[in-house]
Structure 1
Amino acid sequence: MTSQTFAAELQWRPATATDLAFARDLTCQNMLRYYIQHDLLWQDEAFDVAWAGRDNRVIVHGDARLGFVSLSRDARALYIRELHIVEAFRGQGAGSWVFDQVLALAGLERRPALRLTVFENNPAKKLYSRKGLAVVGRDECFLRMQCDIACANR
């Protein structure tokens, strides 16, 4: 199966309470090395509190959960707070597909920008750059990235 075929079969659905443990565990697996490298403390409780206040969507291929995206909003932007793909499904276009869905959502909602924060040494920043986000600031070990929605939809 090609990456394009695989991505064409992806869907996202609203997360339910039963998806919380999957999302927390996946985030911890994917991010713990960055927390350790940057001397930050991972806390399950903090993840759970943040999850409760966000628009969370699970990425699925058939019955398989491949990852999730966690979003928040304000008048200035749509924010990707978390975007995680199960390691076995990386490199097949799933992250790019999710990003395209979020970008389209930002346009539909008429948000001025799409924003996210990424660890400065996280390879995902390459995907974000390819998708049109630019670094607009730095905070300690993080890059703040943004895409102007009006420019992205031309």
Structure 2
Amino acid sequence: MVFRLQAATDQDLPFARTLTQETMSRYYSQYGLLWSDSGFDTAWAGRESWLICKGDEVMGYVSLSRDSKALYIRELHMLEACRGLGAGRWVLEQMALKAQPVGLLRLTVFKTNPAKRLYERMGLSVVIEEETYWCMERICHSS
């Protein structure tokens, strides 16, 4: 399968917000967290976001931030019908390449999220354990 990233725009915000709320609602419920549309929208405005596509089909999105030490995956969500097709693995490979100039790829994942297994297979390791989530990172060197 051939996947591609397409820069997200403000017009993609409702799609991203809805997808995130749908995929994260069980974790928010489980951990007693409250969803905030305005909080999501504020975070979206300050991040670099990409639609994950196959042909003309939008499968999900990834949202990033960065500092001098790392590239941070802030959100990575796939439509349920598009999971298990290899796009998540592909996106993580692309993000590891994007992280090479700063050296680290980082993300956080809720402790009960099965995506942690994919992250581990893709070379991310737990570096910090919090009450509800793990902070994971991968060293990314240019070759």
If the TM-score is normalised by the length of the shorter chain, which range does it land in?
over 0.9
> What is the number of residues matched between the two proteins?
143
- C-alpha distance in structure 2 between counterparts of 1:93 and 1:111, whole Å: 26
Can you list the C-alpha shifts for 1:11-36, whole angstroms capped at 9, x where unaligned? 11110111000000000110000000
Output one character per residue of 1:89-148: Cα deviation in whole Å (capped at 9) or x when no partner: 1011010011111111112xx112110000011000001000111000012201000111
Structure 2 counterpart of 1:133, one-letter code = L
Q: How does 1:4-153 map to 2 (within 5 A)?
A: 6=1, 9-107=2-100, 110-150=101-141
Matched residue of 1:111: which SS?
coil
Question: Normalising by the residue count of structure 2, what TM-score does the alignment of the two structures yield?
Answer: 0.97
Taking the aligned partners of 2:117 and 2:103, their CA distance within structure 1 comes to 22
CA distance in 2, matches of 1:11, 1:135: 28
Is the partner of 1:67 in helix, strand or coil? Answer: strand
Please tell me the residue identity of whatever aligns with 1:105: K
Distance in 1 separating the partners of 2:56 and 2:26: 29
The letter for the 2-side match of 1:47 is F
Letter paired with 2:84: G
Secondary structure of 1:145's aligned partner: strand
1:88 Cα offset (Å): 0.2
Unpaired runs of 5+ residues, structure 2, are: none
Answer yes or no: is the 8 Å Cα contact 2:65–2:74 preserved in 1. Answer: yes
Distance 1:112 1:60 in 2: 26
Could you tell me whether the CA contact under 8 Å between 2:97 and 2:140 is conserved in 1? no
Task: State, as a whole percentage, how many aligned pairs show the same letter.
Answer: 51
Distance 1:101 1:91 in 2: 17
Runs of at least 4 residues of structure 1 off by over 2 A? none
Consecutive unaligned residues in structure 1, runs of 5 or more? 1-5
Output the amino acid matched with 2:46.
Answer: G
How far 1:72 moved relative to its partner? 0.3
Cα-Cα RMSD? 1.0
